[in-house]
Every structure is written in C-alpha cells, then in structure tokens.
Amino acid sequence: MESCSFRTATSPSPFPSAPSSSSSPRAPCPSLRFARARNGRQMRMRRMASGFDAFPPLPGKVFVEETIGAEYGEGFETFRMDGPLNIDVDYLNEKLQECFLQRIRHAMKPDEAFGLIFSWDNVIADTDSLKLDAWRQLALEEGKDIPTAAHIQKSILHGAADHVLRKVLYWAKEDDQMERLKARLIELYYESLFKLDTPVEGLREWLDAVRTAGIPCAVASSLDRRCMVEALDRMALSKYFKAIVTDEDDMESIAHRFLSAAVKLDRKPSKCIVFEDDPRGVTAAHNCTMMAVSLIGAHPAYELEQADLAVARYSELSVINLRRMFAHKGLSFMDMQKQIIERSPPKRKLTVDTIF
C-alpha cells in the first residue's frame, strides 16, 4: 500500500517555508502620524524612534508597478548544504502531489482538492477608492488639480508613483520633492486603510459558501503583515483565510506571491484558482499553471478576456463553477499523445456451399 507522509511543522519540506500569520501574536496596527519629512532618511529615523520599524519602507509597494513573474519556469531559489535549489512551477506541481489518504478524501469531497487565492486589491477591498482619495488629498495639500480625463485617472490608479508624479501630473522635478510627495502619498493611503472596515460587496457570502465546501483560501498582498491582519479583522474576514502572503514574505513578483500562497495552502499550483481584477494578475496566474477568475470593475471585460471566468460580482459565482473549470483536465491533459487510427475489421467473404 502506498504510504502517506504528513507534512508537519517539524518535518522537513522540499520547498522553503514562509512564516504563517498565526506564528506570532497579533499586534495592533498603529494609527501612525508622520511629520512632513524633507527626505527619506528623516522619515525612517522617525519611524524607528516610534518603535514601528515593521511598517513598510516608504514609499512601499502600494504605488509601485510590480513585475508579473514566473516566465519560462521562473520560481524561487533557496540554498542547501549541497548547493542552490531552484523551486519553480513544475517542481511544486510534482512535490505537492496528493498522497494516498488525500486522494481518497478528495474523491469523496472533490471541492477540497482546490485552493483559492484572493488578491487584496479590488478583490477583497476597494483599494482604488483609497488610492484616489490619497491622490486627491495630496493635490489639495499641494494646491494642485488632478485632470479628470479617463487615461489620466487610469495612469494614476495603475501606474507607479514616480511615473505619475514626473510624467503624468508633472508635480515633481527634483529628487527631494519626489521623495517628499511619495512619502506623503503613502502616508495618506495608510491613513485611509486604517479606517477600512467594509469588504467588496458579496465577498462574505461567497466565502461562507466556499468555507462550507471545505475549500482552503489564501490572500496575497504587498501590504505589511500586521496592517493586513488588522484590516481583515476589521472586516471580520480573518476566519476565512488559512494563509496570508504579505510584504514580509519578500516575494519579487506577483506570480511569486501566488506560488507562496499555494505552498502555504499545501495545494499544487495547477489545482489553485486566483481571484484577480487586473490583467497582469491573470497573466501571472496562468504563468503559474493556475486558473484565474477575474472581477469586472477596475478593468473592463474586454481587458480580462484571458481569464478563465469573468464575473461582475460574487453573487454570480457558485462552487459548481469551480468544478467546471477543471472538468476538462485529466492527469495527462495537454500531453503529447499518439493518434490512434481505428482499423475496420476485415470483411468476411461469403461463400455459398453447393451440396450435390
């Protein structure tokens, strides 16, 4: 009989483990008030003197355009005694195979074989409104106006802060002015984040249905872990997520965050479904051999046509939709197969025996 080795906290793992959100006591995320610093050094000294060194370094990754990642099998890299070990998508799909008992359980409860990975931005919380409020407040403080043109608004929401300040709004010419504006922008964003207590409409009902089906869920974000956990607690969503991937996991790209979430959920990447609202996130999910469900809103439907399923709201989803996304896949899906040519049996020759 095939043996099943259970993964525990003390057993060695073939891939690098990331810290869990339950490994340390939760500390409240402070409502920080930063002084208007003229440079990044003064701001960092202020933060360390306050005892909040875990706060993400300004300007953080909120207003930074991250790389997609996982192209051509790119993955993690860890170091062992015998040398470096490259852990890519194929490696995780092989090492996270279901063992004997898991296959029996998933045969009886097939929904538990999947893993759901939710992106934070506009999938769990309406972060576009937070970003717009931060930009508008910054414009009010600086005595400037933000154009209402559609392409300008799109650049502000999805572009890097350096590019927007220098090439779109033309607010910053000197480096010192650029650093000051970015520091104030991220401060305004976190001030709004500390007040956020309402998730995306229909998310809680959808998570209730998923939890009833026994499907584990993870959330991936570039936010600080303490602030992320506090935001989930304010929205009463912490109980739904088995794993959290944040800035402390030190992921270099969007795809790396998704792979880290799959490892924490103990699910193969090819058995995970990513919930995204951005076409870049959909591409990152497909690079990781994951399925992608996109929410129409921040981007129109025609920009999300690469997703496996696109919905306008969570109320349109059901657990059966998740099963159908994998219905066409088998153990050898997309493998090269020989064409079988069916040969018709030879025709029988009919003879007439004449009896004399």
pLDDT digits (tens, 9 = 90+) for 29-52: 444 333 333 344 444 433 443 334
Choose between 83 and 354: higher pLDDT: 83
Record the tokens describing residue 3, joined without a space. 């043996």
Neighbour tally for 24: CB within 10 Å: 10
User: What's the rounded mean pLDDT across residues 157-170?
Assistant: 86
What does the mean pLDDT of the chain come to?
Answer: 77
Question: What pLDDT digit, counting tens, does each position of 217-251 carry?
Answer: 999 998 888 888 999 999 999 999 999 999 888 88
Q: Which whole number is the average pLDDT over 319-347?
A: 63
Say whether pLDDT at 6 is over 50.
Answer: no
CATH T-level topology, domain 113-122+201-330: Rossmann fold (3.40.50)
Alpha carbons 109 and 21: distance in angstroms, whole number: 27
What's the confidence (pLDDT) of residue 155?
84
Domain boundaries, the chain: 113-122+201-330, 127-194
Higher confidence at residue 94 or residue 342? 94
What are the distances in angstroms from CA 110 to CA 105, 327, 328? 8, 11, 15
Burial label for 102, CB within 10 Å (0-12, 13-18, 19+), is: middle
Task: Please check the confidence at residue 19 and state whether its pLDDT lies above 70.
Answer: no
Which residue, 146, 259, 130, 131, is CA-closest to 196? 130
Rounded CA Rg of the chain = 25
Tell me the per-residue pLDDT of 76-103, one tens digit each, with 9 for 90 and over: 666 667 767 677 888 888 888 877 777 7
Cα(257)–Cα(115) distance, integer angstroms? 14
For the segment 136-148, what is each residue's pLDDT rounded down to a tens digit?
999 999 998 888 8
Contact present, 31 and 231 (Cβ < 8 Å): no
3-state SS, residue 316: helix
